[in-house]
Amino acid sequence: MTTRHPLLLAPSILSADFAALGRDIAAAERGGADLIHIDVMDGHFVPNITIGPSVVQAIHRVATRPLDVHLMIEEPDRYVEAFIEAGAAMVSVHVEAVPHLHRTLTMIRTLGAKAGAVLNPATSANTLEDVASDLDFVLVMSVNPGFGGQRFIRQSLRKVARVRDVLTRNGADVPIEIDGGVDASNIADVVAAGASIVVAGNAVFGTPDHDAERAVRALRDAVTTRSLPGSPA
């Protein structure tokens, strides 16, 4: 039996103002953010470069929510310990980048963080079959990773359902996270499909009024409104 996991909103700082990260993170937290999502890119696994452990450590000093660190990098085993020491509470690695996924997930958990596996849009949910029991969560990419502000891939909704099926068949009742192109227009569909950790970057930090606090509230309201009796399905 699958547990209904609580909705957790995870604003992604990839779309925040890097000159004022503390301010933007505080605003998102006031709006009800449950996690702070941090995308780490190396310019090799994905065509972009972002931040390293020292910035995560600085964020950890000011954030009051757990840090959800998504490693979009080659050879993540070399850096997992540094990111956890810097303050990562959750660490996810791409199945496409890790030759020994079981070992990497075990390392993350041994070091005291929650371990997640990430699937790119074209990666089959079946790749999770043999590591389901080693996962604390799964991250489904609903865009091709590397840049913020991309359009949501609608097939990702079916992908979430397939991931849940694989997890259930293997006795793993863990939350599914989704990342890429989520905003107030589709977040209710994402949650209805089975995702319970929702990453949003541009929809939080890239709004015309630059009001991250209001934007986080609007995302949660979009889900709540959809669930009310008489609301459109």
Report, as residue numbers or ranges, the catalytic residues: 39, 179
Residue 226 burial (CB count, 10 A): 15
| 21: number of Cβ within 10 Å | 18
Q: Rounded distance, CA 139 to CA 141, Å?
A: 6
Residue 113 near residue 135, CB atoms below 8 Å = no
End-to-end CA distance of the chain: 24
Q: For helices 212-227 and 21-30, what crossing angle results, to 10°?
A: 30
Beta bridge partners of 40: 71
Report how far residue 229's alpha carbon sits from residue 232's, in angstroms, rounded to the nearest whole number: 9
Residue 180, amino acid:
G
Measured between alpha carbons, how far is 191 from 201 in angstroms, rounded to an integer? 17
Asked whether the beta carbons of 197 and 137 are under 8 A apart, the reply is yes
**Cα–Cα distance measured from residue 88 to residue 69, given in angstroms and rounded to the nearest whole number:** 6
Q: Are 138 and 166 in contact (CB under 8 A)?
A: no
